[in-house]
Amino acid sequence: MTIRSFDWDEWKNWSIPKVMNNIKKSISFESIGEMSFGDALWSQEGMGIYVFYKDDYVPLYIGKVASRSFLERISGHMDTHIHKGGSHTGWFNTFQKRWVEKFDENDTVAKKNYLKSVAFTTLKMPVNNSEAIKKIEKLMIHCYNPTLNKSTMISDNSKFHYLIENIERPIGDIK
């Protein structure tokens, strides 16, 4: 069984720019479609940051879970049931919606393509610090500029701008 997750003590000393390199060094690429149900469930316990990426380990989408569980949030990205009005994409399914738009694929083709070509990893954080989860997600999005995240760069007038000076520090030190 491949656990696609890192506990806080395993990654809190990484710097933001080293996150994806450290993931690549630690776990081999395994697409979502290749994961067993058990692997997927165990990888989705807790709260923190999650990253969807292709086999080059370049993030496609970075998200956070600060009030629910990874299981609820990540499974929402896979929701393709039909809604009123005919939409096949779930309400919280930001990943699939943006994949469909970016790669100009219909819902069914998009799901098949990302199930076979995209992996995810969860980076667990202490559940009592939703502000830290939000800040680290913002910095990771700023650093990696993922294709499927919108408004990725922290601007000069952003309330998160002060965080940029901390981007090379260990993640656990970011305040």
pLDDT tens, N- to C-terminus, the chain (175 residues)? 456 889 999 999 999 999 999 999 999 998 888 876 666 666 566 789 999 999 999 999 998 888 776 666 666 666 555 555 555 555 456 777 788 888 888 877 877 888 889 888 889 998 888 899 999 999 999 999 999 888 778 888 888 888 888 899 999 998 7
Give CA–CA dist 64/69, Å, rounded.
10
For the chain, what is the domain count?
1
Domain of residue 151: give its range.
5-166
Q: Are strands 48-53 and 5-6 parallel, antiparallel or unpaired?
A: unpaired
The answer to the question of residue 143 being in a domain is yes
The answer to the question of residue 175 being in a domain is no
Helix axes 107-117, 94-103, angle to 10 degrees: 100
